[in-house]
Amino acid sequence: MVQILHYTDSLNTIYRDGKMKIWVYADHAPVHSHVRTPDGDSAVDLATMAELAGCANRKLLAKAIA
């Protein structure tokens, strides 16, 4: 179940689930989201759903991309 949060959140958080948080910045291309886990953050391209960079927990990142 997706928990939609308000865009007034300082990081534009769109989803939060336990140890994972996803947010979007619309400040530069490519259009992407950020996934934050206890192990680190990763950037994910929203067009391809591929990881652009980062070191997020692999299991939680796979859940975020699914």
Q: CA-to-CA distance for 13 and 21, rounded, in angstroms?
A: 7
DSSP per residue over 20-46, as a string? EEEEEE-SSSSPEEEEEETTEEEEEET
Q: pLDDT tens for residues 7-66?
A: 344 457 888 888 898 888 767 778 888 999 999 999 999 889 999 999 999 999 999 998
pTM for the model stands at 0.72
